[in-house]
Each structure stands twice: as C-alpha cells, then as structure tokens.
Amino acid sequence: MEPYWSGVRRQVRSPWLAAASGRAAEDPFDHCALHYVGDQEYLEGTVPFIDAALAAGDPVAVAVPGPSLRLLRGALGDAVQHVQMLDMAEVGANPGCIITKVLRDFADRHAGRRVHLIEEPTWPARTAAEYPACALHEALVNLAFTGRDAAILCPYDCAGLQAQWIADSQATHPMLVDRAGRRPSRSYDPDRVIADSNRPLDPRPWTAIERQVDRDTIDNARWFATSYGRSAGLGSLQLVDLEIAVTELATLCVLYGGGAGTIRLWSDKKQLLCEVEGIGPLTDPLAGHRPFTEDHAQGRSLLMVHHVVDLLRTYTGPCGTTARFHLRLP
C-alpha cells in the first residue's frame, strides 16, 4: 500500500504548495507560519516546500523536534540525503541560539544562493519559561533576515499549542498558510512582540544569595558562582559554562553598567538560576542574535552567554538591564 504522503507530491494544485511560492518583489525574504493539525497536514505543508526547493536546485535545511524529524525522514525517502536535517530539541533547545546557530549558520554557508529552511522553534513540550524566548526569536527573525534571499517556513501545531501561542505566530509571521491556502497575516506586528518580551522577570525567591561585583572583584564573583554551582550539583562542564556566563555578564556591568553590578544565585530540584543586575542599557533587539563577527561588544558577550546556558532572558528598565540565565541540573 502506498504511503499517504505520496499523494501529497502528486497534488500539484494543493493549497499547501503555496507555502513555497511566496516572494515579495521588494524583499526576497519570505517568513511564513504553517498552521497544521495532525501528521498528514504536517506533511502536506512541509514536503511540497522541500520538493519545490530541491527542484529549483536550492539548498534546504530542516530543524524540527525529533518526532517531526522522523516523520519527515520517512516521507522524503531518498530525497532526504539532499536536505540538512537537525533536531531542534537539541540545536535549538535554547531559543536564543537558533538564529545564529541554525538559521544564519546555514544561510551564510550558502551565501549567494536562495536558501529554504523549515524551523519549528515552538512545540507542545516547550515550557512556560521557554516560550517567551521562542516568540521573541520568531519576531527577531524578521529583522535578522530582512533583504536576505531566504524562505523560512515555521510549523505550528494548532491542536497541541496554547491558543495564545498560535495568536503570537500570526503577529510574528507576515504570511500564514493552512489548508485554506496562503494569505497575509492581518495581525502581523513583530515590534509589538519584541516590546512585550521586555517584561520584568519573575520575582526571585527569598533563598537567593547575592554578591556585589566590580572591576576588582570579577575573579571573586567567578569563585562565588562556581562554588554555589558545585554545591547545587552542576557537572564539571556545566561549571565551566557557569563561569563563562558569569564572567561575560559581570564584565558588561563593569563596562556598560556604571562599573558595578549584583549577582544572585538560587536553585531548585531541576535547575540553577543566576541573575546579574546592572549590565547597562540594552537598546538593540538583535544584540546577542548576530554572528560573533557582526555584533558589537555588548552583543558578543550576550551571544557567548546564549551558547553556554539553557535559557537566557533579559529585562531593560529605567535603571538598566538585568539578565537571568538557567542551567539544568544533571
């Protein structure tokens, strides 16, 4: 019996094929949310996108969580050897890494060619703590890829995701596609999502311990953080990551935050959290989301932190910026 996705490739007039057809004359970048329900709609929306790109001879990458990755591998058959396949639960576990580690990395390795990517940064297993970073990521993609010759399709599981998450996808994607076809999003407003993401961080617990840091005490701050991390149960490699993150953020306090800041640490049964207050004003939304060679010094430090922690959130208020990062306990 022929698998049901074989029919997808024969249905050349399927409305899902529109996912691969959009390209504005003034901007070659196409960013589209795919709203689907169930495996069949997932394949009907993604396989034609891949097939059209391969038929055009363009490079294609797929970064989706494991179950979706396995589904697509089976659907693509021999064509899968021409597609870069990545497990988003691994490469994009920290949403703040996806632009540089996945999207820009692939696009930059194929400079001068139109690239096609399927990325699924938001799936039902994402936590409430992670989701704001996912929404911010999707909004920032529009800034990071403006003018670039690229098509990015982002699947959203309408049966498994919260209604607000689906609504946010309409604000972060200029185009939408579902079984009814492709259309502009009437709710497109990525600037609103970026602004909404800059919200005060959740209150820290009374058990948090803190230490002041300045130019003369950065070494002491590293010792303070790693000592706490060791007692909390972090592994040896995680302790190195903790030291790097604290050093980078403490340095921002010294250079951009008036010369001093405050480090706070606490943990629960699942993770260690570290908050650094006083890293200076943060006005560039893409800081920390550009390749290292393209970012300014403040952004390079944030990029480094993104790549060694499990989650990084920031809040810039009237008194400056506070950064908080998470490290999962083994």
CATH classification of 5-197, choosing from 3.30.200, 2.40.10, 3.40.50, 1.10.1330?
3.40.50
How many alpha carbons fall within 13 Å on the CB side of residue 18? 17
What pLDDT is stored for residue 15 in this prediction?
59
- The residue whose two tokens read 């504005």 is 24
Provide the whole-model pTM: 0.93
Q: Where are the domains of the chain?
A: 5-197, 209-328
What pLDDT is stored for residue 22 in this prediction?
53
What pLDDT is stored for residue 11 in this prediction?
42
Characterize the bridge pairing of strands 175-178 and 271-277.
unpaired
Pick left, alpha or beta for residue 304 (phi over 0 → left; psi -120 to 50 → alpha; otherwise beta).
alpha
What pLDDT is stored for residue 1 in this prediction?
31
User: How confident is the prediction along the chain (330 residues), in pLDDT tens digits per residue?
Assistant: 334 344 444 343 455 555 555 555 567 999 999 999 999 999 999 999 999 999 999 999 999 999 999 999 999 999 999 999 999 999 999 999 999 999 999 999 999 999 999 999 999 999 999 999 999 999 999 999 999 999 999 999 999 999 999 999 999 999 999 999 999 999 999 999 999 999 999 999 999 999 999 999 999 999 999 999 999 999 999 999 999 999 999 999 999 999 999 999 999 999 999 999 999 989 999 999 999 888 888 999 999 999 999 999 999 998 889 999 999 999
Contact 50, 118 (CB under 8 A): yes
What pLDDT is stored for residue 296 in this prediction?
86
**CATH superfamily of domain region 209-328:** Histidine kinase-like ATPase, C-terminal domain (3.30.565.10)
Q: In angstroms, what CA-CA distances link 137 with 145, 153, 172?
A: 12, 14, 9
What pLDDT is stored for residue 319 in this prediction?
83
Element (H, E) at 175: strand 175-178
What pLDDT is stored for residue 35 in this prediction?
98
